[in-house]
Amino acid sequence: MADGILLERAGVPAVSICTDAFTVPARAMAKAYGFPGFAFVTVPHPVASLTREQISQRAREVVPDVLRILGVE
Amino acid sequence: MTEHDVLASAAAEPLLVDGGEIRRAIEYYIERGWTDGLPVVPVTESYVAEFLARTRRDPAEVVLAMPHLERSCTVRVAAINAALAGCRPEYFPVVLAAWDSLRKEGYAERGLWQSTTGTAPFLVVNGPIRNELGINCRGNVFGSGFRANATIGRAIRLTAINCFGLRPHELDQATQGTPAKYTACIGENEEDSPWPGLHTEYGFAASDSTVTAMVIRSVVHIEARHTTVPEQLALDLAGTLSRTGALIHETISGCLVLGPEHAHVFARAGWSRRDLRQFVYEHAGRTRAELAAVGKDAVSGKTRWRLPADHPEAVPDRHTEQGRQGLVHVLNSPEALQVVVAGANNAGVSAVVETFGPRGGPPAITRIDT
């Protein structure tokens, strides 16, 4: 979350992605960085134990959300 | 009137404050979230001044920063939280030394206190101040019952919550945490130990008072009344230290907190602290087959965390790389293990304190400035 905010502030478009288990800490971190409305993407928890194919599937699923936050038409 | 006289007369007189007023103050702090869940001591400016009078340090001096949160703790904020925690003002130099050691230790400033792992700071106090402040180093040393142990450790936790915002479910993401998060502060039982104090191993005089800080994951109990053979006892400790569940990184680290009875088993056989650390280093390990059985026979090429050998990130661990056979050591060196003596001299009970990270090298120790 912090990395995403710092990249955005440096002028680099960024989208933070975390699992839904971290939604509350992610919002708290955004608030701590003075960016309480920072938009981010969540994926179902967990990811650490997924296979390579399952990870790819998760990535495909969130692409529309990532593009939406980036403002891609 | 001295402070002692004031307290003595206060104890002799009936309390003139209405309990409802005290409760109202306590509830106010809890409503603001300035608590670990237990009631805190109401703090006013005059009470903070009593803490600040115990140090020559500037109230604005930073004792620890968490740059990733853009937050830092000053001497004054540390004093407020020590007061909230129930410390007496004379404990404050110990709390400040604890912060200095935690800063040297390094994990707090790198965000580890927020990790899902769920760690807690662990403080070991050495030297004459233990007896001056009543820091327990004997029976029930990890348990309850002693104001100094209970509140010095709690002062750190309340600062983490109130100053750094490390509240559970928010910036503190611990999956389960540990009971040590309320407080984890012990004294070394130098009086019943066969060896000089821990701090004397690292260049401090026996007459110095010090705080050693480590970040820990858990405290594992060892009950060994069955043997007076030092090798058997040391293997029992090594076997506990090397449990596979603790082995998340390529190697681990630990602090043996020996009950005095166990320490004397080693000392009677002529073992120094250094001898014990060397023996445990050599014998704390798992076979390759045992690691494979739990899917920890390789490490990640990126993080060096242990993984199954068929994981896409898996690379051989150093033991395999170096072509070594036999036991895969869980410590990177004898220095990754500390040895402290604490507890009552009444039974064959010790503990393995599982410290976070691979470590090695001297621990983070600070002399208490009294």
On the question of pLDDT at A46 being above 70, the answer is yes
Nearest to A25 among B71, B171, B312 (CB): B171
Q: Which long-range contacts (CB under 8 A, 24 or more apart) does A57-66 make?
A: A62/A17, A65/A41, A66/A15, A66/A17, A66/A41
Range of the structural domain that residue A19 is part of: 2-70
On the question of pLDDT at A52 being above 90, the answer is no
Q: Which residues of B touch A2 (CB under 8 A)?
A: 68
Mutate: best of A29, A50, A51, A52, partner B, most B CBs <10 A = A29
CA torsion angle for B205, B210, B215, B216 (degrees, to 10)?
80
Among B8-17, B134-143, B176-185, B273-282, the range scoring the smallest mean pLDDT is B8-17
> What tokens appear for B77 in the block?
């904020």
Q: Which residues of B touch A52 (CB under 8 A)?
A: 312
Banded model confidence at residue B11, pLDDT cuts 50, 70, 90? low
So what's the pLDDT on residue B8?
A: 60
Phi/psi at B252 (5° precision): -125, -175
Express each pLDDT in B37-78 by its tens digit: 999 999 999 999 999 999 999 999 999 999 989 899 999 999
Mean pLDDT to the nearest integer, B268-277? 98
Complete DSSP assignment for B209-260: -EEEEEEEEEEEEEE--S---HHHHHHHHHHHHT-GGG--BSSBEEEEEE-H
Q: Mean pLDDT for chain B?
A: 95
Specify the DSSP element, H or E, that contains B300.
Answer: strand B298-300
Express each pLDDT in B306-322 by its tens digit: 999 999 999 999 999 99
Banded model confidence at residue B6, pLDDT cuts 50, 70, 90? low
Q: Which residues of B touch A22 (CB under 8 A)?
A: 173
Q: Which residues of A touch B173 (CB under 8 A)?
A: 22, 25
Q: A2 and B68 in contact by Cβ < 8 A?
A: yes
On the question of pLDDT at A48 being above 90, the answer is no
On the question of pLDDT at B202 being above 80, the answer is yes
B274 in Cβ contact with B333 (< 8 Å): no
Mutate: best of A1, A5, A24, partner B, most B CBs <10 A = A24
Express each pLDDT in B78-95 by its tens digit: 999 999 999 999 999 999
Mean pLDDT to the nearest integer, B215-235? 96
So what's the pLDDT on residue A17?
A: 95
A35 interface with B at CB cutoff 8 Å: no
Among A59-63, B14-18, B130-134, B216-220, the range scoring the smallest mean pLDDT is B14-18
Banded model confidence at residue B149, pLDDT cuts 50, 70, 90? very high
So what's the pLDDT on residue B18?
A: 87
Banded model confidence at residue A19, pLDDT cuts 50, 70, 90? very high
On the question of pLDDT at B3 being above 90, the answer is no
On the question of pLDDT at B110 being above 70, the answer is yes
So what's the pLDDT on residue A23?
A: 93
Q: Which residues of B touch A33 (CB under 8 A)?
A: 70
Mean pLDDT to the nearest integer, B326-345? 97
- The total domain count for chain A is 1
Q: A32 and B71 in contact by Cβ < 8 A?
A: yes
**Smallest CA–CA separation between B320 and chain A, in Å?**
25
Mutate: best of B173, B175, B305, B310, partner A, most A CBs <10 A = B173
Q: Which residues of B touch A3 (CB under 8 A)?
A: none
| Cα B17 to Cα B11, B20, B26, B40, B58, distances in angstroms | 13, 9, 14, 17, 34
The interface pTM score, or ipTM, of the predicted complex is: 0.80
